[in-house]
Amino acid sequence: MESSTHVALLSSPGMGHLFPSLELATRLSTHHHLTVTVFLVPSHSSSAENKVIAAAEAADLFTVVELPPADMSDVTESSVVGRLAITMRRHVPAFRSAVSALTSLPSVLIADIFATESFAVADEFHMAKYVFVASNAWFLALTVYAQVWDKQIVGQYVDQKEPLQIPGCEPVRPCDVIDPLLDRTQPQYFEIVKVGMDIASSDGVLVNTWDDLQGRTLASFSDRNLLGRIMKPPVYSIGPIVRQSSSKKGGSSELFNWLSKQPNESVIYVSFGSGGTLSFEQMTEVAHGLEMSGQRFVWVVRAPTVRSDGAYFTTGDGSEEQSESKFLPEGFLERTSEVGFVVSMWADQTAVLGSPAVGGFFTHGGWNSALEGITNGVPMVVWPLYAEQRLNATMLAEEVRVAVRPKELPTKVVIGREEIAVMVRKIMAEEDEEGKAIRAKAKELQRSAEKASVEGGSSYDNFAKVVKLFGKSVP
Nearer to ligand UDP, 147 or 368 (CB): 368
Interaction of residue 372 with ligand UDP, rule CB under 6 A = yes
Q: How far apart are CA 388 and CA 226, in angstroms?
A: 22
CB of 386 to ligand UDP, least distance (A): 7
- The dihedral built from the CA positions of residue 177, 179, 181 and 185, taken in this order, carries a sign that is positive
| Measured CA distances, 248 to 48, 58, 78, 352, 393 (Å) | 18, 17, 38, 10, 30
Q: Which of 414, 383, 380, 410 is nearest to 285 (CA)?
A: 414
Nearer to ligand UDP, 262 or 368 (CB): 368
- The dihedral built from the CA positions of residue 372, 322, 312 and 393, taken in this order, carries a sign that is positive
Q: How far apart are CA 352 and CA 103, in angstroms?
A: 41
Q: Please pick, from the candidates 79, 118, 274, 277, the single residue that binds ligand UDP as defined by CB under 6 A.
A: 274
Q: Please pick, from the candidates 300, 358, 427, 438, the single residue that binds ligand UDP as defined by CB under 6 A.
A: 300
Residues near ligand UDP (CB under 6 A), total:
20
Nearer to ligand UDP, 39 or 139 (CB): 139
> Taking a C-beta distance cutoff of 8 angstroms, is the pair 37, 8 a contact?
yes
Nearer to ligand UDP, 48 or 421 (CB): 48
Q: Please pick, from the candidates 369, 446, 448, 459, the single residue that binds ligand UDP as defined by CB under 6 A.
A: 369
CB of 210 to ligand UDP, least distance (A): 17
Q: Please pick, from the candidates 6, 83, 129, 243, the single residue that binds ligand UDP as defined by CB under 6 A.
A: 243
- The dihedral built from the CA positions of residue 43, 44, 50 and 53, taken in this order, carries a sign that is positive
Q: How far apart are CA 147 and CA 206, in angstroms?
A: 20
Interaction of residue 271 with ligand UDP, rule CB under 6 A = yes
Q: Please pick, from the candidates 13, 82, 273, 377, the single residue that binds ligand UDP as defined by CB under 6 A.
A: 273
- Number of Cβ within 10 Å of residue 389's Cβ equals 33
> Taking a C-beta distance cutoff of 8 angstroms, is the pair 265, 295 a contact?
no
Nearer to ligand UDP, 169 or 347 (CB): 347
Q: Please pick, from the candidates 82, 234, 275, 406, the single residue that binds ligand UDP as defined by CB under 6 A.
A: 275
Interaction of residue 390 with ligand UDP, rule CB under 6 A = no
Q: Please pick, from the candidates 15, 144, 268, 290, the single residue that binds ligand UDP as defined by CB under 6 A.
A: 15
Which residues lie below 8 Å from residue 61, measured CB to CB, with a gap of 6+?
A: 25, 26, 29, 30, 36
Q: How far apart are CA 70 and CA 56, in angstroms?
A: 23
Interaction of residue 209 with ligand UDP, rule CB under 6 A = no
CB of 270 to ligand UDP, least distance (A): 10
Among candidate residues 6, 32, 91, 112, the one labeled active-site is: 112
CB of 421 to ligand UDP, least distance (A): 23
Q: How far apart are CA 24 and CA 5, in angstroms?
A: 15
Q: How far apart are CA 375 and CA 372, in angstroms?
A: 5
CB of 361 to ligand UDP, least distance (A): 10
Q: Which of residues 339-368 bind ligand UDP (CB under 6 A)?
A: 346-350, 366-368
Q: Is 112 a catalytic residue?
A: yes
Nearer to ligand UDP, 371 or 452 (CB): 371
Among candidate residues 17, 32, 91, 364, the one labeled active-site is: 17
Q: Which of 385, 293, 273, 386 is nearest to 336 (CA)?
A: 293
Interaction of residue 236 with ligand UDP, rule CB under 6 A = no
Measured in residues, the chain has a length of: 475
Q: Which of residues 144-183 bind ligand UDP (CB under 6 A)?
A: none
Q: Is 432 a catalytic residue?
A: no
Report angle CA 322, 324, 330 to the nearest 5 degrees. Answer: 150
Site residues (vs ligand UDP, CB under 6 A): 14-16, 19, 243, 271, 273-275, 300, 346-350, 366-369, 372
Give the active site residues.
17, 112
